[in-house]
Structure 1
Amino acid sequence: MNNTNKTVVKSMNILNLFIVHSELTFQEIINLSGIPKTSVYRMLSTLEEMEFLVKGTDSKYRLGLLFLKFGHLVSSRLDIRKIAYPYMNELHNETKEAINLIIREGDEAVYIEKVDTQQKVRLYTAIGRKSPLYAGACPRAILSFLPDQEVKDYLESVELNPIAKGTITDKEKLYEIIQQSKKEGYTISHSELENYTSAVGAPIFNNLGEVVAGISIAGIEANYQGDNLEVFQEKVKKAAYAISKQLGY
């Protein structure tokens, strides 16, 4: 084990002390960890700088708010996947199209679940894959239902790069589409992430009314016309609402 790995392990040993103890002094950390004083000092400084630990005015160390953030993210993502899956599976059985679930990670969307066992043609999307929030019905299901000022700030800072032949690269047009989606409660995309594919998406909200995820029905573009499109719109909105209710919306 190299020195870098040893340092990481020792730092984790220090953090693990806070599983049992809500607060510890510098000397208590030394005594409990068995790590030399100079090493503990150095590691505590780094952990504090990275916001893993905070040092109070009483000179005691406590876990930083970063853990609360990570804990919330892990919990919410796991809960959403667990809650959404039965509805995704039902939607897939009804439509025979791919069903995707995404969450936001910064200015991107991450696909965290997918059901497509009955779909013959595999699409662009895959679990773990990332897409910009502006492209595709599922990512835009999150972007479209963010607070308006947040949407405007995002559009001012982002560069709209073409991904497929239908990717929207005009900011004024994109903003109009976002506003329309917000009124209608769903999003539509054609050849935005992959040529000749389409998707219909809808937002998922938490108990605070915040958009926390998006769900979509996706497949070959030819299937997303006329009556089919209307059916998919209603089905994806219904599933998104059911999942949102399970999250306390």
Structure 2
Amino acid sequence: MKTKERAFKYERYHIPNVAKAISVVRALSKRPDGMTRSQISACTGFSESIIFRILYTMSDYGMVVKNPDKSYSISKKFVSIAYDAVSGENLVLAARGLMNEIRDKLLEPVMLGVLSDEAVIMIDQSPGKHPFGFIGKIGMRCPLHSSAPAKAILAFLPDGEMRAILDRIKFEKFTPKTISNKKRLLTELKIARRNGYATDCGEYLIGANCVGVPIFDYQKYPVASIWVTGPAERIPAEIFPKIGRMLVRKASEISEKLGYEK
């Protein structure tokens, strides 16, 4: 079903096919598992012939990929370009060395992500050193209500912005421990803000625990988060505070590289 278009200030100057391509990108961004041409057509209200031309143009430029089931998804190249445009590369460079230091101490993977409309998107990682562990993919999405990296950012957003985001969350259930309502999430965010770090104890993946902290820019705004994730037996809840304190110290150093001053 076609979504209602917003009013635009410079609409009379718009190039129709560019506007349609943007609508296609927005539709695909909501479905990381991919969409078929007919699904995109139903979502945007555009004919399948228009969708066909847009997708093939974007495919030639490497902006979308065609999956084995004939659905289409936004490409890693697209994600990379998007985050370069918002200084994602500078953020990665500022964080990578300190992420490696954390990884070398804990031996678990350390990941870096930024807030998108409906998730935190992973943009870099330091792979763990255990023979068996978690490996994320660039572009991996971490749900807002059930992941430490997302809660770490939400907890430090301006109150109005944070509540507006919470109003849009659908609270999808991933495990029996997934937070299922706004009231409980608000309580978690208050705890995270007080402690300086957020946690996820099997809320997104059964048997996986996670601790995350925010990274701030020169405006004291939480632009990203770093987090450690691993099996519950290696990262039990009892050591969350220890990991949290370590992450807070390292994240503070990253924030300083981005111009943050206490």
TM-score normalised by L of structure 1: 0.69
User: What does residue 202 of structure 1 align with?
Assistant: 213
Correspondence 1:193 to 2:204: yes
Distance apart, 1:47 and its partner CA? 7.7
CA distance in 2, matches of 1:45, 1:229: 51
Q: Structure 1: which amino acid aligns with 2:181?
A: D
Would you say the 8 A contact 2:145–2:169 is kept in 1? Answer: no
- 1:33-56 CA-to-partner distances (Å, cap 9, x unmatched) read xxxxxxxxxxx7518985xxxxxx
Correspondence 1:89 to 2:58: no
Would you say the 8 A contact 1:134–1:143 is kept in 2? Answer: no
Q: Structure 2: which amino acid aligns with 1:156?
A: D
Q: Structure 1: which amino acid aligns with 2:149?
A: C
Percent same amino acid at aligned positions? 24
Would you say the 8 A contact 2:213–2:226 is kept in 1? Answer: yes
Correspondence 1:235 to 2:246: yes
User: What does residue 176 of structure 2 align with?
Assistant: 165
User: What does residue 181 of structure 1 align with?
Assistant: 192
SS of residue in 2 equivalent to 1:109: strand
User: What does residue 46 of structure 1 align with?
Assistant: 15
CA distance in 2, matches of 1:238, 1:47: 49
Would you say the 8 A contact 2:175–2:206 is kept in 1? Answer: yes
- 1:122-172 CA-to-partner distances (Å, cap 9, x unmatched) read 327322111222221112111111111122112222210012332111211
- 1:169-218 CA-to-partner distances (Å, cap 9, x unmatched) read 12111111101111111101111221101011100000001110000111
SS of residue in 1 equivalent to 2:139: coil
Distance apart, 1:108 and its partner CA? 1.4
Change (3 A) 1:120 1:49: closer
Change (3 A) 1:163 1:83: same
Select 1:224's aligned residue among 232, 235, 238. Answer: 235
Find the structure with the greater CA-based Rg: 1
User: What does residue 100 of structure 1 align with?
Assistant: 111
Change (3 A) 1:189 1:227: closer
Change (3 A) 1:164 1:125: farther
CA distance in 1, matches of 2:124, 2:160: 29
**Structure 2 residue ranges without an equivalent (≥5):** 1-12, 20-80
Distance apart, 1:229 and its partner CA? 2.4
**Structure 1 residue ranges without an equivalent (≥5):** 1-43, 51-69
TM-score normalised by L of structure 2: 0.66
CA distance in 2, matches of 1:137, 1:226: 13
User: What does residue 7 of structure 1 align with?
Assistant: none
Moved over 4 A (4+): 47-50, 70-73
SS of residue in 2 equivalent to 1:223: coil
User: What does residue 85 of structure 2 align with?
Assistant: 74
User: What does residue 214 of structure 1 align with?
Assistant: 225
CA distance in 1, matches of 2:122, 2:238: 28
Change (3 A) 1:116 1:79: same
CA RMSD of aligned residues (A): 2.3
User: What does residue 148 of structure 1 align with?
Assistant: 159
Would you say the 8 A contact 2:215–2:225 is kept in 1? Answer: yes
